[in-house]
Amino acid sequence: MRYIPNTDRDIAGMLEVIGVKSAEDLFGEVPSCCLLRKPLGIPPPLGEAQLLGRLGELARDNANLREFSSFLGGGTYHHFIPAVVGHLAGRSEFTTSYTPYQPEISQGTLQAIFEYQTFICLLTGLDVSNASMYDGASSAAEAVLMASRIKRTNRVALSRAVHPDYRETIKTYCAQQAGEIVDLPFDASGRTDLSALRAALSSGPKGGTACALVQSPNFFGIVEPLDEWGRIARENGALFISAFTEPIALGLIKPPGESGADIACGEGQSFGIPPGFGGPHLGILAAKKEYTRNLPGRIVGQGADKEGRRAFVLTLTAREQHIRREKATSNICTNEGLCALTASIYLTALGKRGFHRLAVLNHRRAQYAKRALSRVAGAQVRFSGPTFNEFVLRVKGDPAAIRDRLAGKKILAGIPLGRYYEELGDCLLVTCTEMNSEEEIDELAGALGEVSGP
């Protein structure tokens, strides 16, 4: 039912049950200065056909990815989504379900989440995954809190090359713990300075830092040396957390678990979820087996029922709804179940070889764009480190103005970095995926040459 109106009789019945005389009485505690005393400034009601037409008109004001060439990234990526993904994920038994608290009637949903966890463990090279979280930023923050519980210290070494929104979210989550966050600079290659990492972890008593967190590929698209990070963290008694915003890269680079990561966290939006204004996104969190009890959120386990048949159930869950609140690992209220299912279907549709080929194609398109854009007068790649499918481009002129001029040509050119890094005020973050053809990249290069300059 698309509209559920309340009649006067319905309203009167509800008010009687509540024990008040009018709807206004429900807001008696709200100061009168905060109450709206006039009608809302909205147009009169429309018929359904007229309403849908009006919404269509408003939607045409947005820049949609069917009409615009997009080179945006920075945590949200435009990838092709096979039709089977939406077809299966949109089935009513999935879209209408919530938390599978009753396993006897929720085996399908539980199995879907279990399969998702299996995919995440395969991709990250770690032993256990939870049943998904809100987004990459909150999963990174939860990973830091998790490390703090394990190591019993609130000191964190955090790379400045981690997504700025992730860093802000981590600092917000950790603000009440009176801990210390040590920001690690990046060098001329765009990688995090390893000497700064060593200095941060070696200062103070051994084991005095809960974790060292880096993103790879980092916010600049550059692949970090995770093996070195793992070794340095272990030598100094800290946990190593590896984050990511573009999980497609896991089809080409070594899984973080194989580089010594204790915890992996990041964003799964690239796995079949279209880019949108703020979401939905999919938070990924995985860890070594010995840290299972410290994983926030839900975990689905596989066992057997009383008749010996394979069965799935929520297990080892240290959420505030299941144990004493003061013992809970977090107050994560729900899991992104439908987004996790979407990711599982997407990864199944690609398969192991298809996933690898997709990663290779993303890398090749970005390398082609690097060469094409570097030939534009006044433009050059800012960092020398190896990249995956996005990179930082220094441009001639104001990056925000260039972005706006190219948007007028139906090209979404990239993200101006000055708002995040003062030293990169003349740079754009440019992203290429399999959705950007070489012809589109050549068009971007030509248009950039036309609009660059003071």
Question: Could you tell me if 427 and 394 are in contact, meaning their C-beta atoms sit under 8 angstroms apart?
Answer: yes
Region for residue 256 given its phi and psi (left: phi exceeds 0; alpha: psi -120 to 50; beta: otherwise) = alpha
Q: Which residue's entry shows tokens 């394979």?
A: 310
What does the alpha-carbon distance between residue 102 and residue 373 come to, in Å, rounded to a whole number? 55
pTM of the model: 0.89
pLDDT for residue 106: 84
Question: Could you tell me if 417 and 429 are in contact, meaning their C-beta atoms sit under 8 angstroms apart?
Answer: yes
What does the alpha-carbon distance between residue 396 and residue 443 come to, in Å, rounded to a whole number? 18
Half-sphere exposure of 416 (CA within 13 A, CB side): 15
pLDDT for residue 230: 97
pLDDT for residue 440: 97
Query: Helix, strand or coil for residue 318?
Result: coil
pLDDT for residue 1: 39
- The one-letter code for the residue type at 198 is R
- The one-letter code for the residue type at 315 is T
Regions of the chain where pLDDT drops below 50? 1
Q: Using alpha carbons only, give the angle 429, 430, 435 rounded to the nearest 5 degrees.
A: 145
CATH numbers and ranges of domains, the chain: 69-81+351-451 (3.90.1150.10), 84-345 (3.40.640.10)
What does the alpha-carbon distance between residue 267 and residue 283 come to, in Å, rounded to a whole number? 5
Instruction: Give the closest residue to 109 by CA, choosing from 337, 451, 345, 339.
Output: 337
- The one-letter code for the residue type at 412 is L
Instruction: Give the closest residue to 267 by CA, choosing from 281, 255, 257.
Output: 281
Listing DSSP states for 14-75 in one string gives HHHHHT-SSGGGGGTTS-GGGS--S--S-PPP--HHHHHHHHHHHHTTS--TTTSEE---TT
Output the furthest CA–CA distance in the chain (Å, rounded): 75
Chain-centroid distance, C-alpha 361:
22
pLDDT for residue 356: 98
pLDDT for residue 2: 53
**Residue pLDDT, tens place only, 253-311:** 999 999 999 999 999 999 999 998 778 999 999 999 999 988 988 889 999 988 999 99
What does the alpha-carbon distance between residue 325 and residue 327 come to, in Å, rounded to a whole number? 5
What does the alpha-carbon distance between residue 429 and residue 246 come to, in Å, rounded to a whole number? 14
What does the alpha-carbon distance between residue 329 and residue 262 come to, in Å, rounded to a whole number? 17
How many residues are given for the chain?
454
Helix axes 438-451, 337-374, angle to 10 degrees: 60
**Residue pLDDT, tens place only, 152-174:** 999 999 999 999 999 999 999 98
